[in-house]
Chains A and B, each alone.
Chain A
Amino acid sequence: MLNDPQHYVTGVLNRDRLTLARTITLIESTHPNHQQLAQTIVDRLLPYTGRGIRIGITGVPGAGKSTYIERFGTMLTGLGHRVAVLAIDPSSSRSGGSILGDKTRMERLAVDPNAFIRPSPSGGTLGGVGRKTRETMLVCEAAGYDVVIIETVGVGQSETTVASMVDFFLVLMIAGAGDELQGMKKGVLEVADAIVINKADGDNLLRAEIAQKEYQTALHMRMANSPNWCPPVLTCSAVEGKGIDKIWETILDHRDKLTVSGEMAEKRKTQALDWMAFLIDEGLRHWFYTSPHVREALPTLRRNVEENKTSPTAAADSLLAFLYTRNGR
């Protein structure tokens, strides 16, 4: 790994695929040196970001996210866009590695010169997904990708994290599975900008249309979270390529409406502030838990709480008290 940040900055701005890929590796790295380097690179690239359309796509495993992105992405490159896809695989556990097979379902997009697809193992850290994906998205924008798509499986918390960093959050559903809403947290629907029932083809067409009605009703019952946008429920078939263009129109429509009303700018501002708050939270935790005093005191305190010798409140207070004494480090 080269250590000169400018090398990466220049490479990314020159749209060099190799450098972009390596920059993402630095962002994803858990190594402190890499993280520092990545930070510098991202900071220098920041002025060149923000011009892309950011789309998050979530759905239960097998909903057809990758197949959908294959269609959607090739349609977009066909329209002259440059498309980056970040596929997060949360299935990996801490102990093992991951199988990253998303590109096998994005065969055409994977070889498209105007597309960049990067599957990432999340390595079991959810907070990590947030930070790394966000920075990766920015770097992709700086490399001239004007549509960035983030694929994430809707089973954990990762999807709300993703929702908080994109302009448009699309939830892909399939008909027929009644328990689906349970598998997928209700909260996801609350942040959805559109729900799309995929696999509306063959024998499944009718069921997809029924599901569409059901979700429409369900959506009507909840509070709108934007004065300018009422999330539609659409159907599509990723395999047959039907309904894909309609979804793009919807995304553009959303963008127009929110831009005109100023909501988009607000949204990005809020996201940036949320992001800062998140980073502060994370930084504080990190600082707190890695400080010598806490590291030393914590095991004993934990034991005392376990054995009922100290109350949880008292234990927490005694540790937090240390926050106020400035000689903690």
Chain B
Amino acid sequence: MRTSLKPTQLFAAACLAAGVLASGCQGNRSEAPPVHIWHNMDFQNKLDPQEEYDFFFAIDCPEEAAKIAELKAKAVAHGHNPDHLPLPEKTCRGRAMRNAPAGTVARGHLKNDDHLYKGRGPDGRLVDELPKGIVLSEELLNRGEERYNIYCQPCHDYAGTGQGIATRRGGGFAVQPANFHEDKFRAMPLGHFYDVIVNGKGTMLPYAAQIVSVEDRWAIAAWVRTLQQSRTTVAMGGK
């Protein structure tokens, strides 16, 4: 019997060990995309929401598309193949999701109830009551509290004094969020809070895209009013 390994055997063993080591363990962090061992039908000719889609490049990125077209035209003029051009890296992508064509309204999205959708009455002034169909109830307030704590609390804080956690970091906000307990805001009609959510106000950007449900917006408005009233009661009780 031999007792020591031959160089070739040693080499093979070392290769195996190196291979095992280099391939790492399960769960290792890596920037390399997941390996698809069997490709099967993992990637099909369909598009998910928010995916990029080159087909609409010319529509979504007119400037870059024009630049590329110009380069290609030049190449053709010089007798080169335009498909073999080294093109500049794209900084803009075409999108799979499309907007509705201008001037069209999807079914059920006419939104012609100004009270419900704009917080305004027939005279165009902000209303001070909930729209028909949305009733003040414990459920509505619970929903309002939950949604307020998600979307408004980071800036306006849980109590509505405008000192939310996001405003106290990284050098602080350039403009302090409103303190709902100021007299100015207490005098505001309910519709004002709805209106601020939808259209923003001053440096506060609109939240209509983030809070899509109209009911949720009214629930938040009702909760803001509840916060205001809770302070009022405490102050009066203390006097």
Do they bind each other?
Answer: no
